[in-house]
Every structure is written in structure tokens, then in C-alpha cells.
Amino acid sequence: MSVPQLQLQSTDARIGIRTQPGQQTIRQHQAKQSIQQPKAQMTIDTRPGKLTIDQTKAWHNLDLKNVFARSDELVSDARQIWLEGIARVSREGDELMRIEDGGNPIAAHAKQNAKYEFTLQPGGRPAYELVDLHYEPAQVDINVEPQEPIISAEPRKPDISYQRGNVDIFMKQYTDIQIDWKV
């Protein structure tokens, strides 16, 4: 005896998905920028050095004097000789006034006034000691005034574009059931 058999055959449902991804683009433009650096303000003031050489004493040591120094020297010497002459004449006058005390004052005066006295100073100081040097160094004043940089920046917004994506869902396969009887 045969028993009838029930045979079932099923097919699953299938879903299909089709996607189109979204696209986004971002472009960033460079910022506009400018930088300027002005030059620093600088001033330099210079007062030159000064060298003074005075060799007047060296020339005087060689007896080469200018007219003013020679005049001053002659006036000083003449005054001294004049004072000495006044003292001598006064002294001789006093001696002549006392002629009665004895002696021969006139002959003594003649003998004393007949000789000439002078002093000789050989050589002199070395010339290098007689030259006066004086130096004032130069003075330099430097003033620097820095300048701030001039910076300007203009930012630019980015360009953003977006294209939406798409998702498409569909039935790729429907469910199916088949029932079959077999004897």
C-alpha cells in the first residue's frame, strides 16, 4: 500500500538594494594675504674726533718764537734789567755820597761796570717732551626706530557642494510555495 506523500517546496523572498552614494566636494581657496615690512628709521649723528698738536714749546726751545712771545720775553727782561739798573745807580749814588769815608768809589764803579756777565744754558729739554698732544675721540649717536609690519589677511569661505545619494530597494525574488502530492 502506498501512502500519498505531501511534498513542499518553498522559495525565500529576496530583497534587492541598489545604492548610488552621495558625493560631497569641498574646495578651500587660499586666503588673500599681504605682509609689508617698512624699513626701520635709523639716524646716525657723528661728531668727528679732534687731534690737537701744540708744538709751541718745541719752537721756543729752538728760539724760534712768534712776535708776541718775543715781545713778552723782551718786556720781562727789560723790566728786570731796568730794576737792576735803578738798584745799581742808587747803590753807586750812596757810595759816591760817602766818598769822604775813604776808598776810590769811582774806580771801583768803572771796574765793575766794564765787565759783561751772561749765563749760557747749553742744550735744552728734548723736543718730544715739548710737544703737547690732545685727542678727543669721535662721538657717534645711533638711533633706531623699528617699524611694525603691516599684515592684512582676507579669509575666503570654502565652496561646498553636495549631491544626495539614492537607495533603491526592490523585490528581487518573491516567496513561492509549491505543494505537490505524490502517490
Per residue in 41-94, pLDDT (tens digit) is 999 999 999 999 998 887 777 778 888 888 988 899 899 989 988 998 898 888
The answer on 136 and 68 residing in a single domain is yes
The pLDDT of residue 106: 83
If asked whether residues 52 and 137 sit together in one domain, one would say: yes
Our count of domains for the chain comes to 2
Distance between CA 168 and CA 173 in Å, rounded? Answer: 15
- Residue 53 and residue 32 share a domain: no
- pTM for the structure as a whole: 0.36
Residue 8 included in any domain: yes
Residue 80, in any domain of the structure? yes
Nearest to 28 by CA among 164, 161, 163: 161
Same domain assignment for residues 142 and 75:
yes
Same domain, 20 and 91: no
Residue 182 included in any domain: yes
Q: Would you say residue 122 lies in a domain?
A: no
Task: Report the Cα 162 to chain-centroid distance in Å.
Answer: 61
Q: CA 53, CA 130: separation in Å to the nearest integer?
A: 11
Domain membership flag for residue 56: yes
Looking at the structure, do residues 9 and 90 belong to the same domain, yes or no?
Answer: no
Cα-trace Rg, the chain? 66
**69, 139: one domain:** yes
For residues 160 and 141, state if they share a domain: no
What pLDDT was estimated at residue 108?
83
Q: Are residues 80 and 135 in the same domain?
A: yes
Question: Which of 7-32 are b and which e, b meaning 16 or more Cβ less than 10 Å from the residue's Cβ?
Answer: eeeeeeeeeeeeeeeeeeeeeeeeee
Let me know whether 7 and 29 are in one domain. yes
For 120, the 3-state DSSP assignment is coil
pLDDT score at 27:
94
pLDDT less than 50: residues of the chain: none
- Domain co-membership, 75 together with 135: yes
pLDDT at site 125 = 61
**What phi, psi does 95 have (nearest 5°)?**
-65, -40
The parent domain of residue 73 ranges over 48-101+108-116+127-147
Question: Are both 58 and 12 inside the same structural domain?
Answer: no
